[in-house]
Amino acid sequence: MAQARKKKVAVVQCLGGCARQAAQATDTQTDAAADGKQEKSGNTGNTEANCQQMTGTETISCQWGCLGGGSCVEACRFHAIHIGTGGAAEVDPEKCVGCGLCAKACPRSLIRITTEEYNIYPACVSEDTGAQTRKTCDTGCIACGICVRSCPVAAIGIENNHAVIDEEKCIVCGMCAVKCPRGVIRDYNGIFTIREAQVGT
């Protein structure tokens, strides 16, 4: 008998919360930055410039965060993703089928596809230092290491100044999500993240 296929779902590794300001970069600077990010992410058809155009004249203070332009929203055929009040993309796990179109559309490679049993995930990939993140983002990982010390199975670590979970080791106990002082580590089921109402405020 064939095994039931595990449901896949998209998660966004950014909560918004970054300081936003009027864009002042020249067209040349914008194109250069977009080319660099495009090369890093491998999303050849979706540059930061394209996504930035959708946001008007705003830019964000974090070079790692969601631009909020909505290229992922346009790509989704199931209306399962939208731009939230924090300025970042948010996924409705009930509507999401894990097709991956939003992930391909994201110019910063912030959206990844996972399965339902791995509902705990860090929603920040900033490589800035904790001190810098405190200045530029209300919801970014500051690499404090509380999650690392809270994990009973050593499934989480700090890499490039942000939390990373090893899904092979993770037992989905939720301790990291509960202990995270900035609510960066999320449970898309909404069970373990105790700072849900505070994030983005």
For the chain, the residue count is: 201
- CATH number, domain containing residue 28: 3.30.70.20
Say yes or no: 96 and 129 in one domain: no
Alpha-carbon distances, residue 187 vs 61, 92, 97, 116, 174 (angstroms): 26, 13, 18, 11, 8
For the chain, the 3-state helix, strand and coil shares in percent, each to the nearest 5, are 25, 20, 55
Least confident of 29-38, 44-53, 87-96, 124-133: 29-38
State the pLDDT confidence band at 6, using cuts at 50, 70 and 90: confident
Give the number of domains in the chain. Answer: 2
Per residue in 135-157, pLDDT (tens digit) is: 999 999 999 999 999 999 999 99
Q: Domain boundary residue among 89, 116, 143?
A: 116
Say yes or no: 93 and 152 in one domain: no
Say yes or no: 111 and 148 in one domain: no
Q: Domain boundary residue among 116, 151, 167?
A: 116
Say yes or no: 91 and 61 in one domain: yes
Say yes or no: 112 and 125 in one domain: no
Say yes or no: 16 and 109 in one domain: yes
Per residue in 61-102, pLDDT (tens digit) is: 899 999 999 999 999 999 999 999 989 999 999 999 999 999
Query: Three-state DSSP class for 36?
Result: helix
Q: Domain boundary residue among 72, 92, 116?
A: 116
Residue-number span of the structural domain to which 181 is assigned = 119-201
| Sheet strands (E) in the chain | 8-12, 20-22, 58-60, 81-83, 89-91, 111-115, 120-122, 156-159, 162-165, 185-187
- Residue 42 φ then ψ, to 5°: 85, 0
State the pLDDT confidence band at 51, using cuts at 50, 70 and 90: confident
Q: How far apart are the first and last CA of the chain?
A: 49
Report which of 57, 33, 187 is spatially closest to residue 121, judged by C-alpha positions: 187
